[in-house]
Amino acid sequence: MEKRTIRDLDASGKRVFVRVDFNVPLADGKVVDDSRIRAAIPTIRTLLEQDAIVILASHLGRPDGKVQDGLRLRPVAERLSQLLGRNVPVTGDALGLGTEDALRRLRPGELLLLENLRFHAEEEANDPGFAKTLASYADVYVNDAFGSAHRAHASTVGVAEILPAYAGLLMEREIVMLSRLLENPERPFAAIVGGKKVADKIKVLRNLIDKVDLVIIGGGMANTFLLATGRSVGKSFVEPDRVEDARAILEAAEKAGVRIVLPVDVVVAKEVTRGAEHKTLGVEKLPASWSIVDVGKQSLSAIREALAPSRTIFWNGPLGVFEIPVFGEGTRQIARFVAEMADAGATVVIGGGDSVAAIEQQGLASKMTHISTGGGASLEFLEGRTLPGIAVIPDREPATA
């Protein structure tokens, strides 16, 4: 999949509408995690250096079509200003006379950020009139918001159907790296799939089974797989209605010659809370009144041994209840191990909030081959689904001799 990108665009003097993904966590009016903002910087700088007029647009949170002061983009603009070393003004609204006036006053090499697009219900509805108004601001459309590429919204699809559309540099890298996993991974290829629910990952597992050599399953979803193999999981979170799905995955893996690694020992707790009493037990000995909260040391050893030969690793989802620090140790240890693998030359691609957090918290991000900015989008891409925000961007024309 080779999409037309800003490498194919002469943006000099053009008004460029850039859909970015600045849906970042805020606390006390400040950006808590700026990784998505930093990921968009290369595209923004490239366009500004070409003397383009850059109009940035993003959503933040879920305001459901209503103005919410706590979801205004001013804190994002402040952080972006710091990163770019220049002031980034933000409009009071994505529409209106004030916005139109601010746009008219922009000169080549300048930029501004439109206020939260989702303050308008028409954004998520992909309303044609809303898309037409946004498109009227610019000559060219650039999508650098991979994290929103699985949504058919006005700013991800509608505007792109009106203006000449290009992928930004972040979007390009996401497509290249995730396509490589599906089409041409260096082998052995291992997938580490964690998180709470089998329901969230079942389509990815189905699609990856005939593409990988090894699957490590952890987190709450491993409980359902343990149940599918006839083990008791005490009062742990489990999805009884997904046991047959888990069993089908295990059978498909066996048929395809794909090794699946499940926990052999686990950390269990009386309550899934901070400070709760906890201990490590084999999966054959789980008491009925305790809950699984993390993988045990034997499981971690087995995971490291299974992963060691891998040349490509994709990891999405924690191996325990990561939000409670003491139950996040298994996830943190795997983060350190895959960082060592990346240092040794393996391709390591990380996706999903808690997996990325485990990497970021330990200062390991720079070691990874690629950290995807799109949790849901990266999963849908790896399910083999067509993402509307990507499909609407034309393919690059083949070079002529």
Range 224-237 average pLDDT: 94
Whole-angstrom distance, CA of residue 182 vs CA of residue 207: 9
pLDDT tens digits for range 374-384: 878 898 999 88
pLDDT at 254 (0 to 100): 96
CB 310 within 8 A of CB 341: yes
Identify whether residues 161 and 232 lie together within a single domain.
no
Q: Are 34 and 73 in contact (CB under 8 A)?
A: no
What's 347's domain CATH number?
A: 3.40.50.1260
> Does one domain contain both 152 and 189?
no
pLDDT given for residue 400 in this prediction: 56
Query: Does residue 245 belong to any structural domain of this protein?
Result: yes
pLDDT of 283 > 90? The answer is yes
Do 220 and 320 fall into the same domain? yes
Mean pLDDT of the chain: 95
Q: What pLDDT does 353 receive?
A: 72
How many structural domains is the chain composed of?
A: 2
Residue 42 lies in a domain: yes
Residue 131 has pLDDT above 80, yes or no: yes
Give the contacts of 316 (CB within 8 A, at least 6 positions apart).
Answer: 191, 192, 193, 194, 195, 201, 204, 350, 351, 352, 355, 375, 378, 379
Asked if 206 and 167 sit in the same domain, the reply is no
pLDDT reported for residue 117: 98
- Residue 197 among the catalytic residues: yes
pLDDT at 233: 93
pLDDT digits (tens, 9 = 90+) for 22-50: 999 999 999 998 989 999 999 999 999 99
pLDDT tens, position by position, 68-126: 999 999 999 999 999 999 999 999 999 999 999 999 999 999 999 999 999 999 999 99
- Do 305 and 364 lie in one domain? The reply is yes
Q: How far apart are CA 83 and CA 78, in angstroms?
A: 9
State pLDDT tens for residues 303-336: 999 999 999 999 999 999 999 999 999 999 999 9
Residue 239 sits in the same domain as residue 348: yes
In the prediction, which pLDDT does 304 show?
A: 97
Q: Could you say which of 74, 336, 353, 367 is catalytic?
A: 353
Q: Indicate the residue among 128, 153, 173 that finishes a domain.
A: 173
Q: Give percent of the chain above pLDDT 90.
A: 89
pLDDT tens-digit map of 153-212 = 999 999 999 999 999 999 999 999 999 999 989 999 999 999 999 988 999 999 999 899
Is residue 86 among the annotated active site residues?
Answer: no
Catalytic residue flag (residue 376): yes
One-letter amino acid of 300: L
Give the pLDDT band (50/70/90) at residue 1: low
Residue 221 has pLDDT above 60, yes or no: yes
Statement to judge: residues 95 and 12 lie in one domain: yes
pLDDT at 352 over 80: no
Domain end residue (candidates: 173, 199, 226): 173
Q: Using the predicted structure, report yes or no on whether residue 401 has a pLDDT greater than 70.
A: no
**Mean local confidence (pLDDT), 249-276:** 95
Size of the chain, expressed as the number of residues it contains: 401
Find the catalytic residue in 45, 197, 247, 396. 197
The percent of residues above 70 in pLDDT, for the chain, comes to 99
Does residue 96 fall inside a structural domain?
Answer: yes
- DSSP assignments along 19-45, one per residue: E------EETTEES--HHHHHHHHHHH
pLDDT of 285: 84
Is 60 domain-assigned?
Answer: yes
Assigned domain for 387 exists: no
Structural domain including 46 reads: 6-173
Catalytic annotation present for 345: no
* pLDDT at site 397: 83
Tell me which of 36, 72, 79, 201 is the catalytic residue: 36
Q: For the sheet with 291-295, list strands across it.
A: 278-282, 265-269, 291-295
DSSP code per residue over 234-281: TT----GGGHHHHHHHHHHHHHHT-EEE--SEEEEESSSSTT--EEEE
92, 109, 376, 396: the catalytic one is 376
**How confident is the model at residue 256, as a pLDDT?**
95
| Contact indicator for 72, 116 with CB cutoff of 8 Å | yes
Query: What does the pLDDT read at residue 282?
Result: 94
Instruction: Identify whether 44 is part of a domain.
Output: yes
For position 366, what pLDDT does the model report? 92
